[in-house]
Structure formats: structure tokens, C-alpha cells
Structure 1
Amino acid sequence: MFMQIDHTGIAVRDLDEAITFYTTVLGGELMDRYTNTATGVETELAVIHIGEDVIELLRPTSNTSPIARFMKARGKGVHHIAYRVDDLDQAIAKHMQNGITFLDDTLRTTAKGRRLIYMDPRHSGGVITELCDYPTEKQ
């Protein structure tokens, strides 16, 4: 099964300040900035490319968003690491055969066409791990 790091999600309090750091200090390029208003997500995002790597800066837009809850518990910083797979459904099935469980309520397709789900972090030493694919790129 093909798998590679897709992006690293970083929880931030000030999106503009974070964008400035990642573009000015680290030489990244701001590729996209948008707000996800979907219930249970409520996050403003900035997508930064640094070389071939992708950073998603995540600022909560409500007190109940997963990013807000994360920051309340752990503070700002690395929120998750996302791994791109060829086929999300197949990857989920394979991992479940090996005893890995997922946070079923996180399975979704973003407005940008990425399908994703988060593994239960107890399998990864507390690291939030996202699996994702881009089915529209296969057509």
C-alpha cells in the first residue's frame, strides 16, 4: 500500500503571525487560505508549501472546534500528521484487520476534495494521525 506524508497540521492562535513566520523566516509559499465552516470543524486554514512539504496552519473559529479543544488541552503546536494513501477505504480496512480503530465521526470529504479520517491516537502514542486520499485526482 502506497503511503507518504501528505502534510503536517499545526494549531495556531494567530494565523497572520504564523503565515509570516512560515513564509518569511522559513521561505515557504502561501498556496491557499480559507475557512472551513462545516459543523464539527470550524477552522481557518492556511496551506504553506516549503519545498515539497506541506504545512496546514489551523486556527479555530469556534470554541467547540476540534482545534480549539486540542489547544485547550495541549496548547498550540503540531496537531496532526497526515499520510496520503492510494485508496482510503482500502487503507481503513487493512488497518482495521490489524486491530487499528478510527474516530468514525472524523470521516469526511473536505470542500477541496480530500477524503480523510483520523486514527484513534492511542495506537500512535498520542499522535493524531490522519489518513487521506484525493479521489478526484484518480479520474
Structure 2
Amino acid sequence: MYQDNDSNNSGPQRPVFRKIDHIAIAVHDVEEAIKYFTDVMGFNLERRLHIKGRRTGMLSAEMTHGEIKFVLCQGTEPESQVSRLISNYGPGVAHIALAVDEAHSAAEQLGGFGISFDTSVIEGPGLKQVFTARDSNSGLSFEFIERTSEGGFLEENVQNLFDQLEKADAY
């Protein structure tokens, strides 16, 4: 049975989701994807990152159009997290990031509903974020993100995420 946050039931509470912060898309070729998003869809390329882990890497591009944000992700090796994600689920949505008021509380509350996480709460300049394990039914992973100042993604934050996922062998 669905439990609404506003009910008087004393069961576990869910966090309030403020908005979709961004959607990460796993792509075969980030350059082709950038051209599609800019030339066809009219998005702006805000920044690019090249993240290197202990064994693999990732290229990413942050694309925006008004309040809409996509992060395009390409693995740099066949065994990288993004490449493995594409191998198992195909290109497309890697995760959906939902804005929350407090990432630690969101993880604790959702953990009470049985959600497992691939990362601990990652704390970096201007944001905190935590990533769920991929749901076996939908193939989706969610990020719960708490922003205090930074609207984009700093290399240090993405590197920390990449390192945690690589260590957990998650994708």
C-alpha cells in the first residue's frame, strides 16, 4: 500500500523530491551525442570532463537548455562502468538525479524502504550526492542530490563518484 508523506501513519517517511536535477545518459560516442544535442535539439554545451579511475575512465559533457540538464557519459574502455552499463542495458538513461533538501536523510529514509546504494554520500564543494543500486526490474539508478551552491559538476565531485563506483564494481 502506498504511504503518503502527509499521512499520520508512524511508518518510515520518504524524502521530498524538489525537481529533476539532471538526467545522465550513457552514450556510445560523446562527440556524436554533443552534436545531436547542440545542432538538432538546441542545447548548450556547458562543460566537458575526462575522469580517470584506477582501471578505466569516462568522458562526460554537461548539456543545458533553460532549466533542463543532461549529462552525456561515454566509457573510455570496454570494462569501464559506462561501457558495461551499455553492454547490459543498452545506451540511454544511466541515472535520474532528484534534488533533495538533505542527501544523508534521503539515503536513510529510502534505506528504510529497502533501497540499497552503490555509494555512500559523496560530499564535495557545493553539493552532496548518493547513488542507488540499479533496480533489477526497470534498470534505473537514482541519484539524490543536495546542492548548496554549485549548479554544475566539479571534476573533484565526479572523480569521487567514479572512484566509489569503480571500487564497488557498480555501473
Q: Is the TM value for this pair above 0.5?
A: yes
Q: Which runs of 5+ in 1 are unaligned?
A: none
Paired residue type of 1:127: L
Q: Which residue matches 2:21?
A: 6
| 2:122 corresponds to | 108
User: 2:138: which partner in 1?
Assistant: 125
**Displacement after TM superposition at 1:71 (Å):** 1.1
**AA aligned opposite 1:79:** A
Aligned residue identity for 1:16: E
Could you say which structure has the larger radius of gyration?
2
Give me the TM-score of the superposition, normalised by structure 1. 0.82
Identical columns (%): 28
**Contact persistence 1:117–1:131 (CA under 8 A):** yes
What is the TM-score when the length of structure 2 is the normalising length? Answer: 0.68
Residues 1:73 and 1:65: Cα distance change in structure 2 (over 3 Å): same
State the distance in 1 between where 2:121 and 2:137 align: 18
Shift in CA distance, 46/74, structure 1 to aligned 2, threshold 3 Å: same
**Deviates most, 80-89 or 122-131:** 122-131
Structure 2 residue corresponding to 1:85, chosen from 71, 94, 100:
100
1:15-94 superposed matches below 5 A: 15-39=30-54, 42-94=57-109
Q: 1:27 to 1:135 in 2, by over 3 A?
A: same
Question: Alpha carbons of 1:63 and 1:73: their partners in 2 closer, same or farther (altered >3 Å)?
Answer: same
Taking the aligned partners of 2:137 and 2:24, their CA distance within structure 1 comes to: 16
Which stretch shifts more, 31-40 or 86-95? Answer: 31-40
Gaps of 5+ in 2: 1-14, 151-171
Question: Residue 65 of structure 1: CA displacement?
Answer: 2.0
